[in-house]
Structure 1
């Protein structure tokens, strides 16, 4: 008996259904980012600024290179943002003990407060979106998206 989480053979996938599903995922992603962007406006944050704060909240002492990789943004754009955040007292920089060329970035107490406010907004948006699913369905979506990501990486790298 086939279990819902079992991989689906690619020859069972209709290109038309695949395209419609992809469009639904893109539409949801676009709506999610638009909603998040609108909800972040009172904090004066862009989506990239939000992403930087969230990454520093999850992992203190990131380098600019690590941060730009995690935010899918050019290192130069992150560099300008980091300089502004540092001037605003949201982050601090210190030299890495293992690589004197690298700066380690951390949130200041002021930055932690703003990051927490942004995280609360993100949680509200994500929770509203997730309410369309049961926990089991969310686990299945997560698993399928991880599988799709792996397949796309393989295709990209082939």
Structure 2
């Protein structure tokens, strides 16, 4: 039986975690080249996508969708509010909750954002079907990992 110190170190390129990490970095580089057209960072873009799907959400609702806590989201939302993209207001029913809504400028940005999708698809060199299947596999993987971690 091998002792832990005699086992070979795992090869970096054979690790799923590294393939996911390095692919995520590559995707972020593509977005970093495209998002200045919208005046957004990638995390801001994610918040906007959530609000384009459903406006007037609480900070915690946005955080649940993006797997982010309110301590991470609050400074991001403050910057977005100063850019004129969103408005934040305390909920009337519970002042502990902050409701985030799109401004007209934030709503109008949706049309410009839609123009990025063909560029992203082109950068992947994958078909729509391949992207869809890969996305489904990744969603399943994320769910399994979150379940395993008790989340």
Query: TM (normalized to structure 2)?
Result: 0.71
SS across alignment from 1:142: helix
Structure 1 partner of 2:91: 96
1-side partners of 2:27 and 2:104: how far apart?
28
Equivalences for residues 114-129 of structure 1 within 5 A: 114-121=109-116, 123-129=117-123
Q: Unaligned stretches of 5+ in structure 1?
A: 1-14
Residues 148/72 of structure 1: CA separation in 2 closer, same or farther (3 Å cut): closer
Aligned counterpart in structure 1 of residue 41 of structure 2, from 46, 52, 62: 46
1:1-150 alignment runs, 5 A limit: 19=14, 22-121=17-116, 123-129=117-123, 131-133=125-127, 135=129, 137-150=130-143
Q: Structure 1 length as normaliser, TM-score?
A: 0.69
Q: Residues 43 and 99 of structure 1: is their aligned pair in 2 closer, same or farther, counting only changes over 3 Å?
A: same
Compared CA separation, residues 149 and 84, structure 1 to 2 (3 A)? closer
Q: Tell me the C-alpha RMSD between the 2 structures.
A: 3.0
Name which structure has the greater RCO, CA cutoff 8 Å, separation 6+: 1
- Name structure 2 gaps, 5 residues minimum: 1-9
How many residue pairs match? The answer is 141
User: What is the rounded CA distance, in whole Å, between the counterparts of 1:63 and 1:22 in structure 2?
Assistant: 32
